[in-house]
Structures are given as C-alpha cells and as structure tokens.
Amino acid sequence: MVIVMKPNATKNDIKNIEEILKELGLGVHISTGSERTIIGVIGDKRLIADTPLELMPGVDRLVPIVEPFKLAGRTFKPESTVIRIKDVEIGSKKLVMMAGPCAVESHEQIIQTAKFLKSRGVQFLRGGAYKPRTSPYSFQGLEEEGYRLLAEAAKETGLLVVSEIVSLKSIEQAVKYVDVFQIGARNMQNFQLLREVGRTNIPVVLKRGLASTIEEWLNAAEYIMNEGNYNIILCERGIRTFETYTRNTLDLSAVPIIKEISHLPIIVDPSHGTGKWNLVTPMSRAAIAAGADGLIVEVHPDPKSALSDGPQSLNFDTFNSLIDEVAKVAGVIGREW
C-alpha cells in the first residue's frame, strides 16, 4: 500500500498518518518528492482494510501494491493445482471436457446425450437443474428432479456430473447427486453462496461474473477457499461490453493471466461466451491454444427443440467436429485429449 499525499499536505498531516500506521502495527517509509510526499506502508494490508485512510487530512489517494487475494494466488502456492475427482484430473496435461444441455429437460434427452458424450471421451456431463433466466416467464429448470436425472445418466455411463447451484436449498439437494458444483456468472458475488460452498469439500466451477475484473474473480475464489474448500476450477465465460454481435465478449487473455497469477485450473465456456453455436468451435480451438485446461460446452440432441439456449448449443455432429479439432490443437501445444 502506498499513500499518496496531496501537493499541499502539511507536516502534521504526514505525521498523523505515520502515527495511525504505527498504532496499527505497520511499518512506514516516507518519500518526500518534488511535488508530493508518498508514504509506503509495510506489513499486512488487512490490518488497514477497515480504516478509511483516504479521508485523513492531506491524503490524496491510496495505491494498493500487493493483490488483495492470497490463497488463490501463485505467490502463496507456486505450483499449479490439480484437482482429482475419482479418476479424472483437472489441471493436468490431459484436457477435460464438460458437456451437455443448458437445461435438463427429460430422462430421454439426458441419457441420450450422456451416452453420446461418453463415446467421445468426455469426462463430465453438465446440465442445468436450476436455470437463472433474465425473464421470469422463461423455463426455470426441473430443480431437484433435474439433479436426479443427471445422476441417473451418470451412473449408467460412468460420467461425472457438474451442475449449477443457486441457493442453500439447491446445495442441499445437489450434494446427493452431483460431483462438481457450478456457480454461475450472476452469482459470482453472491457471497452467502460462496461461503456455503466453501463449507463443503465438493469441487466448484466458479464462473467469472459479467462485469467482474480478474481480481474480483480471484477474490470470489478467495471467499470459498477462506472457508476451507480449495477445489476451485475457474471458468471464463465472457464479459459484458458494448459489442452486440455476440452475447458476451469472451476474454481469452484471462487464460494466460490466470495461469500467471493463480495456481488454480481454468476452463472456458465458449457457448455462453459467444451465444452463437457457429462460433463455439473456433473459440474452443482458440481457448485451448491460449492454454485452457478444458472446456464446458452446450450440446443438445436437438437444439431446435431446446427449452433454453438452443441458439448456442451444438448438436452431436457439430460436437464431433469440435472434439476432433480441439484434439489436434491440444496435440501441438503439449496437451492431450
């Protein structure tokens, strides 16, 4: 933390800050510049998290130096995290694929999809039981029955299940059926939910919020980790920008950035990230080329009849091509499919 004083700050102003910091048990370094004085704060920044130093006389602004997250950062844990669920690893050389329909609609839909996915080596069956939808008049999901249908299909095929949780109630239901929780973009800063999930030891796919910086996203992970659950898989799924051609702007730079500043694995969701099925395959290739540890993709046996997000879902044919193309890219950048 650096405290930048105003050009007209007095000696007393500076002395005042110095005393506050020393009382808090922090070290102080003062640099008197040609136009301003700056004060370097040494020690655990959390000691001053709740002291509004900006308001002290003579202070212009505070400049953070150390990132606010700790457990999620590579400084804290230099080696990359690999999450193991049964015999699947996330974050190791082999890519992971999570695929399935946006929403669970019926036994037939989900079992048909699961069998197809298994035949292509996919490890995770995804499907929404609770669907956060912008309008209350859209299909909202089958709730617990959705989780149950996923578990049934998983049992029959040997796939693992990933599904979104949206509330304490849904966590209590899902815990019986799913292997990995998903926290959706709209809940990335639902701190109650983050804490609840942190108290379980079930791995979590944590999607980036529509308007979240990378730092805020890692802080959301920090909420979960701070409760004891370290099994977090970050998921870039597009941010909101002025561009209207795509549903969101998929920020693939987040992939190498996360790899640099965090030890957590990261996957990419090109379906929500673009909102258009015909962009999913090129952006999947790009995500893997950028260094992602895997993908989460919407696949539906018949997108035309899907109850939600049909326009961004692949069918079995187009998913077949995606797998083939992604596998080729993986092969030349030191990954495996």
Question: What whole-number distance in Å separates Cα of residue 44 and Cα of residue 36?
Answer: 25
Which residue's CB is nearer to its own copies, number 117 or number 280? 280
Which secondary structure element, helix H or strand E, spans residue 32, and what is its range?
strand 27-32
Q: Are strands 2-5 and 59-63 parallel, antiparallel or unpaired?
A: antiparallel
Bridge partner residues of 254 (DSSP): none
Helix axes 277-290, 254-261, angle to 10 degrees: 30
Residue 289 as a binder of its own copies (CB under 8 A): the answer is yes
Which residue's CB is nearer to its own copies, number 152 or number 291? 291
Helix axes 107-119, 144-157, angle to 10 degrees: 40
DSSP state of 206: E
Site string for its own copies, 28-67 (x = CB under 8 A): -xxxxxxxx-x-xxxxx-x--xxxx-xxx------x-xx-
Which residue's CB is nearer to its own copies, number 11 or number 242? 242
Q: Are strands 232-236 and 266-268 parallel, antiparallel or unpaired?
A: parallel
Site string for its own copies, 124-143 (x = CB under 8 A): --------xxxxxxxxx---
Residue of 167, 202, 316, 320 that binds its own copies (CB under 8 A): 167
- The owner of tokens 């799913």 is 178
Bridge partner residues of 183 (DSSP): 206
Question: What whole-number distance in Å separates Cα of residue 213 and Cα of residue 239?
Answer: 9
Tokens of 180: 């990995």
Residue of 21, 149, 166, 197 that binds its own copies (CB under 8 A): 166
Which residue's CB is nearer to its own copies, number 160 or number 252? 252
Residue 24 as a binder of its own copies (CB under 8 A): the answer is no
Query: Which residue type is seen at 40?
Result: G
Residue 311 as a binder of its own copies (CB under 8 A): the answer is yes
Residue of 121, 156, 282, 321 that binds its own copies (CB under 8 A): 282
Residue 25 as a binder of its own copies (CB under 8 A): the answer is no
Q: Considering the complex, what minimum distance in angstroms separates the CB of residue 112 from its own copies?
A: 18
Which residue's CB is nearer to its own copies, number 178 or number 239? 239
Q: Are strands 204-207 and 27-32 parallel, antiparallel or unpaired?
A: unpaired
Residue 82 as a binder of its own copies (CB under 8 A): the answer is no
309: Cβ contacts below 8 Å, ≥ 6 apart: 102, 103, 271, 272, 298
Site string for its own copies, 232-271 (x = CB under 8 A): -------xxxxxxxx--xxxxx-xxx--x-----------
Segment 168 to 207, residues that bind its own copies, using CB under 8 A: 168-170, 186-187, 189-192
Q: Considering the complex, what minimum distance in angstroms separates the CB of residue 287 from its own copies?
A: 7
Which residue's CB is nearer to its own copies, number 157 or number 190? 190
Q: How many residues bind its own copies (CB under 8 A)?
A: 109
Residue 211 as a binder of its own copies (CB under 8 A): the answer is yes
Residue 332 as a binder of its own copies (CB under 8 A): the answer is yes
Which residue's CB is nearer to its own copies, number 84 or number 278? 278
DSSP state of 316: H
Count the helix, strand and coil residues of the chain and give each as a percent rounded to the nearest 5.
40, 20, 40
Q: Where are the alpha helices (DSSP H) in 158-238?
A: 168-174, 191-198, 214-226
